[in-house]
Amino acid sequence: MKAAVIDRFGGPEEIYYTDIEKPVPGPDEVLVKNIYIGVGKPDYIMRSGICPFLEVKPPKLVVGNECAGIVEAVGSEVKGIEPGMHVCVNSGLGYGAYAEYIAVPQKFVTVFPDAFPLKYAPGFLNYMVAYALLNEIGRGTDGKSIYIYGAAGGVGTAVIQTALLQGIEVIASAGSQEKCDYIKSLGAHCVFNHKEQDAKEVIMDYTKGRGVDLIFDQLVGKRFASQFEYLADFGMIVIYNWLEGSPELDQLDTIIKQSSHASAVRSFSFHIYDDKPERLAKIRKICMDRIISGEIVPHFYMDLPLSEARKAHELMDGLKIMGKLILHVEEK
């Protein structure tokens, strides 16, 4: 079968398209014939060799962690999944998705109703993350407005669409005019270029001095504490990654000084739901229904053939992606 693999960790140039053995499912595994494959940050982490839990190493290591297709076969111990079903794989193994077929343990497979367009399955997780951020993680604020940095990415797009659907005011920023135009086109109420404009000035001006209720922060780092300057009373900063490392100031000290504003900080990983299947199923159903009904239409940046996986990674590393980038398996 065809696959996009690496022989050593490194940049996008390490990815090449080749023939490898088709996998055979073990007793608790599902064999999926892929149609669409998602390109995302975990693939960058795996490709560059900084994934802490990767158990398999190159050579001929198949890149990718998210794919969708049709079940072709199941192992003897698999329950509730049958050949022909539409599924999405979010491989907790961290590899294996950029291929015509993938065999993974059942726990990594989600069944999608036939009414759900399979093309939207890779990237669907972003909508669950967005729902969780807005409705579960961000609870306890006045919840009228949000600010999201780097909003043109996959998660940012999903947060904007979900917030707008729920009647929440959206302030969003991006690092180029093209990305700002894109998030404006999604309907964000206040959009600015965070490389050219000061967040405090824009947000305090837009909110008439009140500040914003919820800030979604994927950077943290040196600028972390400055966000309290434009957070509304009872507001919260939700950390969902720390691309720029830990804050310089002692976090607790900073929060204590904010007590007259009742400010809060919360950090979030979607792994909170790993041992909460019922709560996860509720979020999944709400998000699936919103897409099936057309209330939310996921946005694609590009749909490239699997043979162009290297180009996809060049775009990702160049921070070019707006919305979701997917690959598709070419028909023979």
Binding site for ligand NAP (CB under 6 A): 40-41, 129, 150, 152-156, 174-175, 179, 218, 240-241, 243, 268-270, 319, 321
Residue (80 or 318) nearer to ligand NAP, CB: 318
Q: Shortest approach of ligand NAP to residue 128 CB, angstroms?
A: 9
Residue (172 or 232) nearer to ligand NAP, CB: 172
Contacts of 68 (CB under 8 A, 6+ apart): 34, 35, 36, 37, 38, 86, 87, 88, 89, 112, 118, 119, 121, 122
Burial class (CB in 10 A: 0-12, 13-18, 19+), 195: exposed
Q: Shortest approach of ligand NAP to residue 87 CB, angstroms?
A: 20
Residues 40, 68: Cα–Cα separation, whole Å: 14
Residues 277, 261: Cα–Cα separation, whole Å: 35
Residue (153 or 235) nearer to ligand NAP, CB: 153
Query: Whose CA is closest to 128, among 273, 303, 301?
Result: 273
Residue (138 or 153) nearer to ligand NAP, CB: 153
Contacts of 312 (CB under 8 A, 6+ apart): 39, 302, 304, 325, 327
Q: What are the strands, taking DSSP E only, across the chain?
A: 2-6, 15-19, 29-39, 61-62, 66-74, 86-90, 101-105, 109-112, 145-148, 169-174, 190-193, 212-217, 231-239, 264-267, 300-305, 324-328
Residues 201, 216: Cα–Cα separation, whole Å: 18
Q: Shortest approach of ligand NAP to residue 222 CB, angstroms?
A: 13
Q: Shortest approach of ligand NAP to residue 270 CB, angstroms?
A: 3
Q: Shortest approach of ligand NAP to residue 251 CB, angstroms?
A: 17
Q: What is the CA radius of gyration of the chain?
A: 21
Q: Shortest approach of ligand NAP to residue 154 CB, angstroms?
A: 4
Q: Shortest approach of ligand NAP to residue 69 CB, angstroms?
A: 21
Residue (99 or 129) nearer to ligand NAP, CB: 129
Nearest residue by C-beta to ligand NAP? 153
Residue (62 or 160) nearer to ligand NAP, CB: 160
Residue (166 or 269) nearer to ligand NAP, CB: 269
